[in-house]
């Protein structure tokens, strides 16, 4: 087994091995959920899912537990993080969600789509009733690629009823009703109005954003990354006009075996993500060595997809840019993520977004020199810090270029 390929592939099947070690290890973690007959009633958090298999003919549906009332916690990453939920707790919640699904073309409108869109619009739980073609077999769906949170078994519907009137925020209704807005413009407006990334993702996925004749279903996996990408690009356009930060700032946070060190340093806008997966962690289950991979962008931004870190790159970049925008500073930012053996199940890129957001909510460690930063970071990471120095393009750039900042104390 090539541990490096495994860590970068994350179960996508790049090696062609039918016995993928990552998928095999995840199969052993699946919990048996209760069988569901051909009738279902429950309260959607609200939550939807759009698949990508067979694109442009995809499965889409509503997610709900067989429970009535306030089920918000089943699809609330910010609450999971703030309450310090364990992997088992989150996995248990998500594996209880029944996916009531049908298949359609991404451009085709039908009665099912209209109801799924009602769920996507809602900001509060909705009671739904579904009937299935056949009984649902117990199962858990895990996205090894880790953009989407796990969910429970999937059943093919022959009917779906929404038993409540959806509560739609006025600011959401106005943007969705404007069919002259491009999707990027709509996402920008919703972001400025503090609509959560989770809600924006559902709207984009359900085909509720964009110009009227161009609206279509977007697979959930893609809509998550698209939302993170477009929101952070809006921030970057502003950040490029701010003054450069005058010191080195280090922010830290850790959650469920994911440790982050974020270095904000003097310079024009640039961003780099370095991830290291330790042996026995979810993407390095049988390896003996730590695997490292990275992606970066300089001032002009990226022209291609960050294929090494993938969706995690954009989920990490969003809270970084949000912090710089709030503080009205420009900087080069290095994100170091270490994935330890405690992280045994991929839970989705929300974990990165929330953990990095938490890091920036704290007071940073402040340094006047890169030397001081490196001494500090050596004590904060498990991996030999010299390996990060060898990997990081931003640190190499900074150490090889002299700036006016370097001479501020020279008399």
Residue 142 CB contacts under 8 Å (≥ 6 apart), including other chains: 26, 29, 30, 150, 345, 346
Residue 390 has pLDDT above 80, yes or no: yes
In-domain check, residue 22: no
pLDDT at 406 over 70: no
Q: Would you state the structure tokens that stand for residue 144, as one six-digit string? A: 């090894």
The whole-number pLDDT of residue 325 equals 98
**pTM of the entire predicted model:** 0.90
Over residues 78-96, the mean pLDDT reads 94
pLDDT higher than threshold 60 for residue 2: no
Average per-residue pLDDT for the chain = 90
Residues 158, 174 within the same domain: no
- Give domain status of residue 151, yes or no: yes
For the stretch 272-307, pLDDT in tens is 999 999 999 998 988 889 999 999 999 999 999 999
Domain stops at, among 162, 180, 205: 162
Specify whether 196 is located in the same domain as 70: no
pLDDT band per the 50, 70, 90 thresholds, residue 25: very low
pLDDT, position 10:
54
pLDDT computed for residue 286 by the predictor: 85
Q: What is the rounded average pLDDT of the residues 57-82?
A: 96
HSE, CB side, 13 Å, CA atoms: give it for residue 180: 0
Looking at residues 90-119, what average pLDDT do you find?
Answer: 94
Q: Is the pLDDT of residue 134 over 50?
A: yes
> Is there a domain that residue 243 lies in?
no
Q: Report how far apart, in Å, the C-alpha atoms of 392 and of each of 149, 251, 273, 275, 297 are.
A: 30, 18, 9, 11, 12
In a domain, 20, yes or no: no
Give the pLDDT score at 271. Answer: 98
Q: What's the pLDDT band for 139 if we cut at 50, 70, 90? A: confident
CATH of the domain at 124: 2.40.50
Out of 162, 196, 214, pick the residue that ends a domain.
162
What is the per-residue pLDDT across 362-376, written as a single tens digit (0 to 9) for each? Answer: 999 999 999 999 999
**Residue 7, in any domain of the structure:** no
* The pLDDT of residue 219 is above 70: yes
pLDDT at 3: 52
Does 383 lie in the same domain as 261? yes
Going by pLDDT thresholds of 50, 70 and 90, the confidence category of residue 324 is very high
List, in order, residues 6 or more apart from 32 with CB less than 8 Å away.
138
Phi-psi region of 373 (alpha: psi -120 to 50; beta: other; left: phi over 0): alpha
Q: How far apart are the C-alpha atoms of 218 and 201, rounded to whole Å?
A: 9
The residue with tokens 């991996």 is: 383
- If asked whether residues 63 and 176 sit together in one domain, one would say no
pLDDT at 140: 80
List 230's β-bridge partners, or say none: none
pLDDT of residue 13: 54
The answer, yes or no, to whether residue 313 has pLDDT greater than 50, is yes
Report the pLDDT value the prediction gives residue 30, as an integer from 0 to 100. Answer: 45
CA 78, CA 242: separation in Å to the nearest integer?
29
Domain of 91, in residue numbers: 30-162
The count of domains in the chain is: 3
pLDDT at residue 5 in the model: 53
């Amino acid at each position: 087994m090539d541990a490096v390929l495994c860590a970068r592939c994350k179960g996508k099947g790049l090696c062609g091995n039918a016995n993928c070690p990552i998928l095999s290890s995840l199969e052993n973690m699946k919990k048996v959920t209760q069988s569901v007959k051909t009738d279902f009633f429950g309260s959607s958090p609200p939550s939807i899912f759009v698949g990508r298999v067979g694109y442009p003919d995809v499965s889409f549906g509503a997610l709900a537990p067989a429970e009535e009332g306030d089920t918000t916690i089943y699809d609330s990453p910010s609450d999971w993080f703030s309450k310090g939920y364990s992997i088992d707790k989150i996995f248990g919640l998500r594996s209880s969600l029944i996916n009531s699904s049908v298949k359609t073309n991404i451009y085709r409108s039908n009665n099912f789509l209209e109801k799924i869109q009602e769920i996507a619009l809602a900001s509060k739980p909705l009671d739904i009733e579904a009937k299935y073609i056949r009984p649902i077999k117990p199962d858990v769906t895990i996205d090894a690629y880790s953009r989407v949170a796990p969910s429970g078994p999937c059943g093919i519907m022959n009917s779906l009823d929404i038993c409540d009137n959806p509560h739609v925020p006025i600011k959401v209704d106005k943007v969705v009703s404007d069919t002259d807005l491009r999707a990027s413009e709509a996402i920008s407006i919703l972001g400025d109005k503090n609509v959560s990334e989770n809600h924006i993702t559902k709207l984009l996925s359900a085909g509720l954003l964009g110009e009227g004749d161009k609206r279509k279903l977007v697979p959930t996996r893609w809509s998550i990354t698209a939302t993170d990408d477009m929101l952070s690009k809006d921030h970057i356009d502003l950040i490029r006009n701010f003054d450069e930060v005058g010191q080195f700032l280090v922010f830290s946070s850790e959650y469920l075996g994911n440790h982050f060190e974020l270095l904000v340093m003097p310079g024009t806008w640039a961003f780099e993500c370095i991830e290291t997966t330790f042996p026995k962690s979810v993407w390095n289950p049988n390896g003996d060595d730590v695997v490292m991979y990275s992606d970066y962008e300089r001032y002009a931004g990226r022209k291609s997809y960050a294929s090494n870190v993938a969706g995690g790159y954009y989920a990490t970049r969003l809270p970084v840019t949000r912090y710089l925008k709030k503080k009205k500073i420009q900087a080069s930012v290095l994100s170091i993520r270490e994935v330890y053996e405690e992280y045994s199940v991929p839970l989705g890129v929300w974990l990165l977004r929330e953990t990095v957001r938490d890091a920036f909510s704290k007071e940073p460690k402040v340094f006047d020199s890169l030397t001081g930063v490196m001494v500090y970071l050596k004590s904060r990471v498990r991996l030999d810090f010299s390996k990060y120095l060898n990997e990081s393009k931003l640190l190499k750039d900074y150490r090889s270029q002299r700036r006016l900042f370097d001479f501020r104390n020279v008399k």
